[in-house]
Amino acid sequence: MSEQHQLALQLSNVEVSYGGRPVLREVSFDIPTGVLAAIVGPNGAGKSTALKATLGLVPLTNGDVRILGTTLRANRRRVAYVPQQDLVTKDFPITAIQVVEMGRYPHRGWFRRLGADDDAAVAEAVERTGIGALLDEPLDELSGGQRQRVFLARALAQRADLLVLDEPFTAVDTRTEEALVDLLAELCADGATVLAVHHDLRTVAERFDHAVLLAGTVLAAGEVSDVLTTEALARAYGLAPRHTEPARAAR
């Protein structure tokens, strides 16, 4: 197998600007297949923008993105996205099960009835995320943690090879976060790749395989132990080296 086909994601010299202001500058990194990967960095580092660039949600002023060895257009069904909670419209009249079923739309379209294979994918996603008791609940009546599980179930129902999650642990308690990380690790063990923006460096250091340290440009990328170093964190967060252990920098 070629090196390119072993990569779930490859960004090469990606640049993004908002209103003429550069947000990402010469961003290049690779994410291998089958890893739990995090994008970390200080506020305003361009973490969410990097995800949006990956998904074609913002235009590139330069650079190239390859997903599973080719373009996003060729692999759209194989990529699932869980946005930030504050970007999700909570007052839309929809139930949890309807959200999960949306994960099958990339395969079936918006107007075709779900078939037996779709029902099986939805049922598996519901079971793995533990939301069986929430299926008939309106989305706007769920807690932040419950909504996060529902949207993760939607991503699982898609049966995507690459899951892209923007701050997936916002508004969830520690116990829920640990359970969700366990689930993401299981998905990776099954062959999927997960890329998540995350602020908790301690969790990244302890549970993630791969990391990208971003501050407008890539300061470090690779295995977590090689990325979350004292020197790299000091550069990213502007702190003295003795204050840049993962637990401190995450505060």
pLDDT value of position 7: 94
Nearest to 215 by CA among 177, 249, 171: 249
pLDDT in tens, 119-177: 999 999 999 999 999 999 998 888 888 888 999 999 999 999 999 999 988 877 888 88
| Burial call 70-95: b when 16+ CB within 10 Å, e when fewer | eebeebeebbbbbbebeeeeeeeeeb
Beta-carbon count within 10 A of 101 CB: 21
| Calpha distance 204→130 (Å, rounded) | 23
Report the mean per-residue pLDDT for the chain.
88
Q: Which of 35-44, 50-59, 83-92 has the lowest mean pLDDT?
A: 83-92
pLDDT in tens, 86-124: 545 556 678 999 999 999 987 776 667 778 898 999 999
Percent of the chain with pLDDT over 90: 66
Residue 65: strand, helix, or coil: strand
Q: Are 230 and 59 in contact (CB under 8 A)?
A: no
Side chain identity, residue 234: A
Q: Where are the domains of the chain?
A: 4-249
pLDDT value of position 3: 46
Residue found by looking up tokens 């976060």 in the block: 177
Q: Which CATH number fits domain 4-249: 1.10.540.10, 3.40.50.300, 1.50.10.10, 3.90.380.10?
A: 3.40.50.300
Nearest to 100 by CA among 128, 73, 74, 67: 128
At 1, is the pLDDT very low, low, confident or very high (cuts 50, 70, 90)? Answer: very low
pLDDT value of position 106: 79
Beta-carbon count within 10 A of 127 CB: 12
DSSP state of 5: G
Q: Please tell me whether the overall predicted TM-score, pTM, comes out greater than 0.95 for this model.
A: no
pLDDT value of position 169: 86
Residue found by looking up tokens 């600007």 in the block: 17
